Amino acid sequence: MSKLIIIAFLSLFIAGCHNTVKEYNKPQLNENKLKDFVAYAMNGDRNYNDTLSGLIDYSLPVNSNFNDLKIDRIHTPLNKTYFSILFEYPNPAYNRFAVYDSSLNLMLLDKSLNGILRMKTVTINNLFLIEVDESFLSKDVLGLNRVSLYKVDSLVTLCFREFTCLTTPENQYYQKISEISPERIRTDLSSKKLSPVSNKSEIFSFNDNLKKYLSPDQIFFNFIKDKINSIKRTSDRPEITDEKSVLQSIGITKDADTITTASNISAKAGYSLTLTDGWKEIRNVGQAGYSDKLRGSKYYHPESGASIFIAPISVNDSAEIYVNAKLDHVLQGKYRVRTSDKIEQGKYFIQYFELSFESYKYLLIFETSKYTYEQFKPMYTDIINSFAIKN
């Protein structure tokens, strides 16, 4: 196995000194400062994310392309100040609702919200509640609305979560809260056309041990569950159900069939690559946005938002057949290496490599977040310089 030396071309991309990461103390908050902290964490700054008690899940690739971000100051009945954060993404795996006190201590973190999100506060019968409403589709044809109520006192807890509306092509079904007290929540059920839930009601009693309002009957929930299960069609829209579907939604095609934790990679295709801890591998995968004929392995690093896609190509082909870039820089030795300049695309840097030896030729696509680029340059350099072609 002979190592492919491409340091000269990597210098176009990964030159410079490694920046020292600063430490941040927990400050007194205001809305603007908290918004800045969230933005830094979204863009991959681990220090700010640690300050926010892990608001962002770095087991997923870094993603700052959210639909909506709302931060509110909340004055509680106990004369304390809290701050709520709600952000919505096209991919619900990234959605978050969080509440912090004025010293940035995390009071609540909810990662289970879907679709279009709305938030407001409710004060009723000596209860102070934060209400979050969700609107989303299931099976492409079922419209769902769900409400979550979070009780705010010395703690912040999710005390009630129920569907409030189901819209089908034939009918529309409702569950409306008609009463809220410390002891119970009452809901009234109805529908546009006569149905099994018409003119019914449901009582949710507060459980002191679980700190939740619960109903033993779950009339509306079970009705909706049966409706969803009765739809046998396959959804045309991507549904986020597991890690594989999350990867599909961030650009890794649905053909991915193996997800592993990568360390030292020795691919049957004829190359090796040495990866550090934290990288994951998906084999036999297409690369979204490129030719369908391009298939290989993708290695990605959730913490930094970086990925390396490597695919074998015909020795008679050039990289330009597959990518919209010019690989003008050439290094000729035992191996022939062609590379593009560093290309800025939105919030990412991209660089292309064409690597040739005898009857072997590979296209390597290197992508990384601009915001974590400086922090992880030494790692990128070591990994790409570890690429070797088998002879």
> Is pLDDT larger for residue 360 or for residue 189?
189
> Per mean pLDDT, which range of 165-174, 225-234, 283-292 is the poorest?
283-292
6 near 385, Cβ under 8 Å?
yes
pLDDT exceeds 80 at position 258: no
Q: Which of 7-11, 72-76, 100-104 has the lowest mean pLDDT?
A: 7-11
Residue 304, Ramachandran bin (φ over 0: left; ψ between -120 and 50: alpha; else beta): alpha
pLDDT at 293 over 90: no
On the question of pLDDT at 190 being above 50, the answer is yes
| Residue 359 scores a pLDDT above 90 | no
| 256: nearest Cα among 235, 242, 274 | 242
Of the candidates 317, 343, 316, 315, which has an alpha carbon nearest to the alpha carbon of residue 329?
Answer: 343
pLDDT at 358: 87
Label residue 243 by pLDDT band (50, 70, 90): low
Query: What per-residue confidence (pLDDT) applies to 23?
Result: 43
Q: Which CATH architecture has domain 250-389?
A: 3-Layer(aba) Sandwich (3.40)
Nearest Cα neighbor of 368 from 350, 343, 345 is 350
Domain map (residue ranges) of the chain: 64-230, 250-389
pLDDT at 206 over 70: yes
- pLDDT at position 163 is 97
Mean pLDDT of the region 224-235? 81
**pTM recorded for the entire structure:** 0.65
- Which residues sit opposite 357 in a β-bridge? 360
Query: How far from the centroid of its chain's Cα atoms is residue 103's Cα?
Result: 27
For position 108, what pLDDT does the model report?
94
